[in-house]
């Protein structure tokens, strides 16, 4: 099944810096290798220090990577504050 993973989190940098990092060719290549597509990156209208990202890919792929504590430095390199992230998962 295809899984849509939604991450809602705080930022340690600006939204523009975060979006630039996520859109970089090397980031997109990494996601492509996992079979994951980023199809939405947005900033909260009411809190510019909070963002949401939606990914689609094979079931459990992104979730398992994100939940692995060893990936925390990679996640936080983008400006994503790992602690407090709300993760929801949807199947299609």
pLDDT score for 4:
98
pLDDT score for 36:
95
- pLDDT tens by residue, 18-77: 999 999 999 999 999 999 999 999 999 999 999 999 999 999 999 999 999 999 999 999
Residue 7 dihedral angles phi and psi, to the nearest 5°: -115, 130
Binned at pLDDT 50, 70 and 90, residue 7 comes out as very high
Neighbours of 2 (CB within 10 A): 12
**Which residue from 13, 32, 8, 5 is spatially nearest to 76, judged by alpha carbons?**
13
Record the pTM.
Answer: 0.92
- Separation CA 34–CA 61 (nearest Å): 7
Binned at pLDDT 50, 70 and 90, residue 83 comes out as very high
């Amino acid at each position: 099944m295809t899984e849509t993973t939604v991450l809602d989190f705080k930022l340690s940098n600006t939204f523009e810096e975060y979006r630039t990092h996520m859109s970089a060719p090397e980031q997109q290549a990494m996601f492509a290798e996992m079979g994951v597509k980023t199809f939405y990156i947005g900033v909260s209208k009411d809190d510019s220090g909070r963002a949401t990202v939606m990914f689609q890919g094979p079931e459990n792929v992104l979730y398992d990577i994100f939940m692995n504590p060893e990936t925390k430095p990679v996640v936080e390199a983008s400006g994503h504050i790992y602690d407090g992230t709300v993760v929801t998962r949807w199947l299609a």
